[in-house]
A and B are shown apart, each in its own frame.
Chain A
Amino acid sequence: MSHKVIIPIGPYHPLQEEPEYFRLYVEGEKVVDIDIVIGYMHRGIEELSEHKHFDQVPFLVERICGICSTSHPLAYVNAMEDLAGIEVPERALYIRTIIAELERIHSHLLWLGLAGHFIGYNTVWMWAWKYREPVLDIFEMITGNRNHYAMMKVGGVRRDIIDDDIPELKKTLDELIPAVNMFKGAVMDDPVIQARLKGIGILNRQQAIDWCVVGPTARASGVNIDIRRDDPYAAYDKVSWNVIVEKEGDIFAKTKVRILELYECIGIIRQCLNKMPKGAFDADIKEIPPGEGIGRVEAPRGECFHYVKSDGTNRPIRHKIRAPSYVNVASNKVACVGGTISDAAITLAAVDPCYCCTERVAVLKKVDNKKILNGWDLIKLSQEKTAQLKEGLRDGKSG
C-alpha cells in the first residue's frame, strides 16, 4: 500500500524575491495533489493606494514587484489616462515602450538563468545573468536606477531619453543579439534539455482557458493573447512585431516562447529609437474628474490589470490590482499534478512566478518522520536527473 508523503516547499528561499508555500502530496515519485498557500507578501497595497494622491501612487505600485517594476506603474497610468481621457505626448509613448521592452529582456533573461539553475545547467544561469547585466546598466544610464526606474507618471514620463545615451543603448542591443543566438542554440538544440523539458508540466489549451492564465504561460499553450497587440497602449500600435505562440503547453514551449520574445523586444526597441519624435514628454494635468478607468499592460509574465475609481478628490477611492502571477501560479494546481518530484521544481518555476522558496524543503514521512531532506535537495534531485540523462546519452553514443 502506498502512503502519501507531504513535501512542503517554502515559504522562504534566498534565491527568489517572494515567498509562496507549496505543499506537494506525493505517492512514491508521483505528485498527486498540491496546495498553494500565498499571503506571505500581502502588504495591503490596494488599501495603501487609497491614502496616496494620484501622483504618489506610481511610486507605491512600482514596489509591488522588483522584476517587472515598470509594468505596474504603466498599467496604473494607463488606467488614469482612461479615467480622465488624457492625451499623452507621442514621445512619452515611445519612451514608455522602450522602458517596458528593456524590462521584458532583463526579466526573461533572469528567468532563463533560474530555469537553467533548477535543472542543473549552472553555466546557463551564469551566462544569462551576465548578459542581463548590460541591460541593467542601460537602465541606470537612462533612468538613474538599475531597478525601480520611476519613469511613469500620469500624462507622460518623468525623464526624457537624451540623444547622447542612444548610441550606447543601440550598441548594447547589438551585442545582445549574439548572446540570444547562443541561448537559442544552447537550449533548443540540446538533447538533454529537450529530454528534461519536453512533455513536462503540461498545461493544455482548455486548462489554460479555464484557469484564465496570461502571458507566455498562455501563449505556450496555444492561447493567442497579447495585450500589446489586443489592447494597444504606449506606442505598440506604431511598431510591428510578432506574437510568439506555441501549442505544446510544456515547459520547453514556455522556454521557447520567452527566448523568441527576446528577439521581438530588441526589434521593438530599435523601431522605437528610430521613430521617436522630438518634443514634449509630459502633459499638463489640471485635475482628475470622478469616474473609473482600467489600464492593462503586457508585463513580462502576462497581463497586468489596474482598475482605478475616483470621486473627484485627489486620491483614488478604489484601486484594484491584478498581477499576472495571481492567475498563473494558481494554474500550477494542474501543471504539477501527475508529474514527478524531480520535475516539480522546474514546473513550479516555469510560469515565471514571482516565485520563491525551495530552501526549507523537508520530506516528512507521515508514518515515521525519519527522512528529512534539507533545503537544496529538491533542486539537487532535479539536477541529478539531468546528470543521469547526460550520462545515459554519453553511454548511448559511445556504445
Chain B
Amino acid sequence: MNSVNLIEDKIKEKLGKKILEWKQSSPRRVYFSLKKEDILETAKVLFKELGLRFVIATGTDTPEGLEILYHFSLDKTGVIYSVRVLIEDKKSPKIDSIAPLFPGAEWIEREIWELLGINFVGHPNLTHLLLIDDWPQGKYPLRKDKC
C-alpha cells in the first residue's frame, strides 16, 4: 500500500494543478482528468520519469465531446492510472501526439485518428491502420452520429 501512495504522491506533486479531477473507482483503478493541452507533459512524466507502462488509449464519442482515456499501468503495484482528456470541438478535433515520446503509442493514435477523426499533431506517420487506404474522408466508424 505504501508504494501505491508513494507513486500517487509523486504524480500529484509533479502534475500539481494540471489534475482537474482524481477518482479511485476501485483499489487498483484510478482515473484522473486533465486539459488536453497538458497531455504531452503528463505522458512524459508518467512514462519517462515515473516508469509507468503505456497500455493503450480508449477513444469515445460522448455528448460533451470526444474523450480519450490514456491507460498507464504501474506493474509493481498493479494499479492502472487512466488519464482522461476531453476534446470539445467535434468539427476539427486535435490533440498533441505522444508517439514521438515512445513508439508504442503510434498504432493506437493511428487507430483513433481513423475511427474517431481526432488529429494527432506531431505524429510521425498518421496513416490508415485498420481501414483500407481509400476509406472515404470524413467517415468515422466510432462516431455516434456517423458523420
Which residues of A are interface residues toward B (Cβ below 8 A)? 38-39, 42, 44, 46-47, 82, 85, 209-213, 225, 227, 230-232, 291-294, 296, 303, 305, 307, 309, 317-318, 320, 322, 326-327, 330, 333
Task: Judge if B94 is at the interface, Cβ distance under 8 Å.
Answer: no
Contact of B71 among A293, A305, A326 (CB under 8 A): A305
A-B contact pairs, 13 of them (CB 8 A): A47-B142, A211-B102, A212-B105, A230-B78, A291-B25, A303-B55, A305-B56, A307-B58, A307-B71, A309-B60, A317-B60, A322-B108, A330-B107
Chain B, Cβ-Cβ closest to A326: B107
Contact of A333 among B79, B103, B108 (CB under 8 A): B103
Q: Given contacts A326-B107, A327-B104, are A209 and B53 in contact (CB under 8 A)?
A: yes
Contact of A322 among B31, B55, B79 (CB under 8 A): B55
Q: Given contacts A211-B104, A318-B58, A333-B103, are A230 and B76 in contact (CB under 8 A)?
A: yes
Task: Judge if B44 is at the interface, Cβ distance under 8 Å.
Answer: no
Contact B130 A38 (CB under 8 A): yes
- B106 CB to nearest chain A CB (Å): 7
- A245 CB to nearest chain B CB (Å): 12
Task: Judge if B134 is at the interface, Cβ distance under 8 Å.
Answer: no
Q: Given contacts A42-B130, A225-B53, A318-B58, are A212 and B102 in contact (CB under 8 A)?
A: yes
- A71 CB to nearest chain B CB (Å): 15
Task: Judge if B139 is at the interface, Cβ distance under 8 Å.
Answer: no
Which residues of B are interface residues toward A (Cβ below 8 A)? 25-26, 28-29, 31, 53-56, 58, 60, 69, 71, 73, 75-80, 82, 102-108, 128-132, 141-142
- A308 CB to nearest chain B CB (Å): 10
Given contacts A39-B130, A303-B55, 6 further A-B contacts (CB under 8 A): A209-B102, A231-B73, A231-B79, A294-B82, A327-B107, A330-B103
Contact A322 B56 (CB under 8 A): yes
Bound-state CA distance A212–B48 (Å) is: 12
- A247 CB to nearest chain B CB (Å): 17
Chain B, Cβ-Cβ closest to A39: B130
Contact A293 B106 (CB under 8 A): no
Contact A318 B60 (CB under 8 A): yes
Bound-state CA distance A211–B102 (Å) is: 7
Bound-state CA distance A320–B128 (Å) is: 19
Bound-state CA distance A318–B79 (Å) is: 21
Contacts of A303 in B (CB 8 A): 55, 73
Contact A38 B129 (CB under 8 A): yes
Bound-state CA distance A197–B56 (Å) is: 31
Contact B104 A307 (CB under 8 A): no
Contacts of B105 in A (CB 8 A): 212
Contact of B129 among A39, A212, A327 (CB under 8 A): A39
Bound-state CA distance A209–B102 (Å) is: 9
Contact B55 A305 (CB under 8 A): yes
Contact A320 B53 (CB under 8 A): no
Contact B54 A294 (CB under 8 A): no
Bound-state CA distance A292–B84 (Å) is: 12
Contact of B25 among A231, A292, A317 (CB under 8 A): A292
Chain A, Cβ-Cβ closest to B142: A47
Q: Given contacts A42-B130, A320-B58, are A210 and B142 in contact (CB under 8 A)?
A: no
Contacts of B69 in A (CB 8 A): 307
Contact A85 B103 (CB under 8 A): no
Contacts of B71 in A (CB 8 A): 294, 305, 307
Q: Given contacts A82-B29, A291-B25, are A231 and B128 in contact (CB under 8 A)?
A: no
Contact B29 A294 (CB under 8 A): yes
Contact of B55 among A39, A82, A212, A292 (CB under 8 A): A212
Contacts of B31 in A (CB 8 A): 292
- B24 CB to nearest chain A CB (Å): 12
Contacts of B102 in A (CB 8 A): 209-212
Bound-state CA distance A46–B108 (Å) is: 14
Contacts of A305 in B (CB 8 A): 55-56, 71
Contact A230 B104 (CB under 8 A): no
Bound-state CA distance A232–B141 (Å) is: 34
Ranked 10 nearest A-B pairs via Cβ = A212-B104, A231-B78, A320-B58, A322-B56, A39-B130, A42-B130, A230-B78, A225-B75, A318-B60, A210-B102
- A28 CB to nearest chain B CB (Å): 26
- B54 CB to nearest chain A CB (Å): 5
Contacts of A327 in B (CB 8 A): 104, 107
Bound-state CA distance A293–B25 (Å) is: 8
